Amino acid sequence: MIGNKLELRTPDEAEIIYYEAFMRCDQQLMAALWADGDVVCIHPGAGAIVGHEKIVHSWSNIFSGAQRPDIRYKVVKTALSGDLAVHLVTEEISTGDEAYALILATNVYQKFEGGWLMVQHHASMVQVGRSQHTLQ
């Protein structure tokens, strides 16, 4: 880590850490993954949250009292251009019972001097039932 930020060598490594932090409900790891500045996070059904501090606070609210979710994710498409990587991801999230949520997400990572960090996350509304995007 450099200061309070992770040193991630690739956007794929950043993707793994994002879902690890999410599944562990680990606020500190999630905070260390996000870049500073005008970063943007959009949770399902919510508006845009701009800025590192506000995003970390939003994840803290999500993790507070939450049961650790089981998340199966699959990177469907990637685009890499210089210091910017965009991942389109399907997420199948459950908390142990029969119910699950299917979400499409776009995760954007940027390369900084210390490595790759998340700069944007945009999750779709929760989809009901299985669809063509369901993980196999």
For 81-107, the pLDDT digits (tens) are: 999 999 999 999 886 666 678 999 999
pLDDT of residue 132: 44
Cα separation, 46 vs 121, in Å, equals: 12
Nearest to 76 by CA among 45, 43, 102, 114: 102
| Residue 99 amino acid letter | A
Q: Around Cβ 41, how many Cβ atoms within 10 Å?
A: 22
Residue 4 has pLDDT above 80, yes or no: no
In tens, the pLDDT along 22-58 reads 999 999 999 999 999 999 999 999 999 999 999 999 9
pLDDT of residue 6: 87
Cα separation, 16 vs 14, in Å, equals: 5
**Higher pLDDT among residues 118 and 136, named by residue:** 118
Q: Identify the structural domains of the chain with CATH numbers, from first to last.
A: 11-123 (3.10.450.50)
108-to-79, 80, 95 alpha-carbon distances in Å? 10, 10, 26
